[in-house]
Amino acid sequence: MTDGSYTVAVCGATGTVGREIVKILEQRSFPVRQLYLFASKRSQGEKIEFRDDDLSVRELTKSSFDGVDLALFSAGGDVSKKYAPKAAEAGAVVIDNTSAFRLDDDVPLVVPEVNPEDIAEYTARRIIANPNCSTIQMVVALKPLEDAVGIERVVVSTYQSVSGAGRSGISELEQQSIGLFNLKEIHTDRFAHQIAFNCLPHIDTFQPDGYTFEEHKMIHETRKILHRPQLRVSATCVRVPVFYGHAESVNVETRKKLTAKRARQLLQEAPGVKVVDEPSSNLYPTQIQTAGLDETQVGRIREDASLDNGLDMWIVADNIRKGAALNAVQIAEILVSKYC
Ligand code: A2P
């Protein structure tokens, strides 16, 4: 990395998150000298627009990283496990959007509004992990409450869109919806059951303790990002028939009492958060209204009547932007401005 501009590789460039990364690099004028787009062999030669060029997608191989400064991975955990170390060996810094390295002690797990200082630890393996989408939007809203009064316990239920499962998730909801409206037989492949007009309390694989892996991600990643290894967190993650945007009902028990009014103020001042909370005008965040936006939206902020120090809130974000691509590009921005 020399003249203030960088050779950037996007691995998984044809996917839902990869395409958004390319868009965001352009929208935020990230100093890209050269952009390489990688995907599987299937996509070789496909064109993706960047600035005023149509760039060709290439097959990802071990030798894809010569001269690459920054490699943004979003092609699934197996691809990251295989190729991210190769990219790091070749001298790139990896920002990885999968769960492959998130809980490794020597890999920082970063949400720029929450723990940007952890980026400094990238030198150990030259890998920085981007957290799970549902974790990112939750910790952005928890951070100001943690700083103000300390958090004792978090109980969250999520309402996660099908885009979190990539292109196959989006097309399964589309195909099932079209099929049902046309009285056709529908097929279930990406999800365990019909997702159209249905909600599935099942994201990722079931674990021996009864939680799913997605729920484990929320629990363990929240602890790591907030530097609270003992924080009590419980999660229920639900896939809902929505295309874009994840919503979360979050119950927080704090160490000291926080009124709803004070919590609203703290959230209004928090970076990356927009408070949308005017019940008298039916104003609260929804997935449709949040799609395409950068901020995490928080509403329905109220004191939990069943606890001395409890708050309830409804947190919504665009899972493809803040939950994935935007967070990764924000990490890259801090990396190049402060560390490289
Ligand atoms: P491809 O389009 O060639 O399959 P999504 O989860 O939205 O479907 O995106 C997954 C991304 O990961 C796509 O860009 C996909 O490329 C890419 N990908 C999947 N498997 C591989 C692989 N073995 N090597 C490189 N990229 C891969």
What CA–CA distance (Å, rounded) separates 13 from 40?
A: 9
What residues contact residue 265 under an 8 Å CB cut-off, 6+ apart? none
Nearest residue to 243 via CA among 148, 326, 174, 313: 174
Query: 238-282: per-residue pLDDT in tens?
Result: 999 999 999 999 999 999 999 999 999 999 999 999 999 999 999
pLDDT of residue 1: 55
User: What separation in angstroms does the CA of 223 have from each of 22, 119, 146, 193, 204?
Assistant: 30, 17, 12, 31, 20
235: three-class secondary structure by DSSP: strand
Helix, strand or coil for residue 4?
A: coil
Please write the tens of the pLDDT for every residue from 34-52: 999 999 999 999 999 999 9
How confident is the model over 148-206, as pLDDT tens digits? Answer: 999 999 999 999 999 999 999 999 999 999 999 999 999 999 999 999 999 999 999 99
Q: Which of 11, 62, 64, 79 to mutate to test the pocket of ligand 1 (most atoms within 8 A of CB)?
A: 79
Mean pLDDT of 110-135: 98
Q: Is 11 an active-site residue?
A: no
For residues 310-325, average pLDDT: 98
Identity at 164, one-letter amino acid code: G
Handedness of CA 261, 267, 269, 274 (dihedral sign): negative
Q: Is the pLDDT of residue 2 over 80?
A: no
- The pick from 14, 57, 161 for probing ligand 1's pocket by mutation, whose C-beta has the most ligand atoms within 8 angstroms, reads 14
- Helix (H) / strand (E) element for 26: namely helix 16-27
Transcribe 34-83 into DSSP letters.
EEEEEE-GGGTT-EEEETTEEEEEEE--GGGGTT-SEEEE-S-HHHHHHH
In three-state secondary structure terms, 17 is: helix
* Atom from ligand 1 closest to the CA of residue 76: 12
In this structure, the residues whose C-beta lies within 6 A of any atom of ligand 1 are 12-16, 18, 39-40, 42-43, 60, 75-76, 79, 166-168
HSE value, Cβ hemisphere, 13 Å, CA-based, for 254: 23
**Residue-wise pLDDT tens digits, 285-304:** 999 999 999 999 999 999 99
The distance of Cα 238 from the centroid of its chain, to the nearest Å, equals 16
Q: Which two tokens stand for residue 305?
A: 């009547």
Confidence of residue 112 (pLDDT cuts 50, 70, 90): very high
Q: Residues 135, 322: contact at Cβ < 8 Å?
A: no
CB 312 within 8 A of CB 249: yes
Closest C-alpha residue for ligand 1 atom 18: 75
**Please, which residues have CB within 8 angstroms of residue 293's CB and are 6 or more apart in sequence?**
274, 317, 318, 321
Fill in the amino acid letter for 141: A
Condensed to tens digits (0 to 9), the pLDDT of residues 86-98 reads 999 999 999 999 9
Amino acid at 176: Q
pTM above 0.85, yes or no: yes
Q: Which of 11, 133, 220, 237 is catalytic?
A: 133
Question: How many degrees, rounded to 5, is the angle at CA 282 between CA 233 and CA 256?
Answer: 35
Tell me the CA–centroid distance for residue 13 and ligand 1, in Å. 7
Q: Is position 216 annotated as part of the catalytic site? A: no
Alpha-carbon span 58 to 55, nearest angstrom = 9
| Rounded mean pLDDT, 72-93 | 98
Cα–Cα distance between 217 and 44 in angstroms, integer? 33
